[in-house]
Amino acid sequence: MRMPRLTRQGERHTKWRANPMWICPKCLFRWKVLPGPIDEKTKKPRRKTDKERNAEKVCRSCKGVGLHCGSKKEADYYAKVQKMKDRGEIADFKFQVPFQLEGCKYIADFVIEDLDGTIRVVDVKGYAGETQLSRQKIRQMRERYGIKVEVV
């Protein structure tokens, strides 16, 4: 029997397949991050060169530069908050904001500023369930910055 893949915390991986996407911040066009070209020796996708990666992230619709999202859900959420900002329902938002925590860094997916100035942090989970690590970071965010992280 093959061993199930374990996460860093020794937990069993739930059915998780990352589905990274690009999103154009200007026109909100979304497209898939492609695997690298097949390496002839190993027959497996190899790492993309910077040139290949840069060519891939150009928006086909408006030639803007795409932003890398870890999952399709994250890309969809980006489109959602951008539309909310356009309609004036929120004051502003920032994407992928780093916060320094004790001994580690937490990259918040979205930091949203409400119309009354309240700051909210939203973490988009691309798969079911949270890992021990993210729970710890969420707790530290509350203790250190007094920010409650919403997990969507």
Binding site for Zn ion (CB under 5 A): 24, 26-27, 29, 59, 61-62, 64
CB of 64 to Zn ion, least distance (A): 4
CB of 62 to Zn ion, least distance (A): 3
Distance from CA of residue 150 to its chain's centroid? 14
26 or 68: CB nearest Zn ion = 26
31 or 145: CB nearest Zn ion = 31
30 or 72: CB nearest Zn ion = 30
Rounded CA separation 76/47 (Å): 26
Return the beta strands (E) in the chain as ranges. 21-23, 30-32, 67-69, 92-101, 104-113, 119-123, 149-151
Rounded CA separation 78/93 (Å): 9
Rounded CA separation 64/2 (Å): 45
CB of 49 to Zn ion, least distance (A): 23
24 or 90: CB nearest Zn ion = 24
CB of 147 to Zn ion, least distance (A): 31
